[in-house]
Amino acid sequence: MALAISGIEELLGDDADSLLNHTCKTISKDKLHIPSSSYVDEVWYHSDRNNRVLGNLEWMLNHGRLAGTGYLSILPVDQGIEHSAGASFAKNPAYFDPENIVKLAIEGGCNAVASTFGVLASVSRKYAHKIPFLVKINHNELLTFPNNYDQIMFGTIDKAYDMGAAAVGATIYFGSEESNRQIVEVAEAFEYAHQLGMATVLWCYTRNSAFKVDGTDYHSSADLTGQANHLGVTIGADIVKQKLPTNNGGYKALNSGDSSYGKLDERIYSELTTDHPIDLTRYQVANGYMGRAGLINSGGASGSDDFADAVKTAVVNKRAGGMGLISGRKAFQRPMDEGIKLLNFIQDVYLSEEITIA
């Protein structure tokens, strides 16, 4: 049974009025390419993407409970490498078995399942034709001592193609010492993936210890993450994944004192954003070519109120003009029936006609 608007309002609690009735007065919704049933025809059809890429984008957008809406609900489970398997699956050891990951995505009505070469290859013959595979091609491994934060390639585009993947995904740590190498590697990989007909999704994360200034962490500031998104679509990402912005002013903080960092214009803060979460996320959308490359926000770590947090993130993303949510730990670190329920709650936000673009 779908979650009604009254249930969504209840989960939003004190934030319901602010999130559901907000009108964005910074970047008008009229300037955006908003997800719809004809999104591929209206947006990507005019690009240089070949017919096979368009077909795979269409397949993802027309699979699962959100089929035909233009929105995406993706289950990502690459934490076995990114956060270590034990730390990720101890809450629910069933997900050491890759088949349960794919089953959760299918039973949860997702548009696609995103995971590692090993996970998806192990069950590809059984499931690659039943749900779109999004193969993550690089990872940060956490076995080197001391821990080393770098994204390195774990497989090849040819391997992803051979297992029947609809899309490939990658992460770049923008702002890190290794980012120049990662940009080149991923740009080349995405170009080859497009040649073979696969869509591309980029985790546009920022990482640099200097992004923490005077006790404030700007890794998820709207201005820095927005620029990361803009770099991501520049190197060929069809869809960008980004953390929901939690603050703003990263460029300003990094230009304090005698330091000089990047470039900024005060109108980023006075005209293009406010401190409202929908307006901050709208700036992320705008940096993805005004929505020509869809924005999917991450669901974040599992916490004490996952259902409410997931619904809130989905409402902010949808009303900002985003394309959906990619939520993993909140879903797989609990019994499968609860994980399915959480994924369905997210999807119900995008299926709700009462929740519109701000």
The CA-based dihedral angle spanning residues 283, 294, 70, 302, taken in that order and rounded to the nearest 10 degrees: -80
For residue 173, give the amino acid letter. Y
Other residues' Cβ atoms within 10 Å of the Cβ of residue 219: 19
For residue 247, give the amino acid letter. N
Collapsing DSSP states into helix, strand and coil, what is residue 289?
helix
Kindly write down the DSSP assignment for every residue of 48-61, as one continuous string: S--HHHHHHHHHHH
Q: Which of 327, 301, 332, 326 is nearest to 95 (CA)?
A: 332
Q: Answer yes or no: 212 catalytic.
A: no
Distance CA 284, CA 268 (A): 12
Distance CA 112, CA 63 (A): 8
Cβ–Cβ under 8 Å, residues 88 and 329: yes
Cα angle: 335, vertex 336, 342; to 5 degrees: 95
Per-residue burial over 103-121, b = 16 or more CB atoms within 10 Å of its CB, e = otherwise:
bbbbebbbbbbbbbbebbb
Per-residue burial over 126-156, b = 16 or more CB atoms within 10 Å of its CB, e = otherwise:
ebbeebbbbbbbbbbeeeeeeeeebbeebbe
Cβ–Cβ under 8 Å, residues 189 and 157: yes
Per-residue burial over 160-194, b = 16 or more CB atoms within 10 Å of its CB, e = otherwise:
bbebbbbbbbbbbbbbbebbeebbebbbebbeebb
Distance CA 143, CA 83 (A): 10
Distance CA 205, CA 290 (A): 19
Instruction: Please list the residues that pair with 172 across neighbouring strands.
Output: 204
Active-site annotation holder among 136, 241, 312, 318: 241
* Residues with a known catalytic role: 241
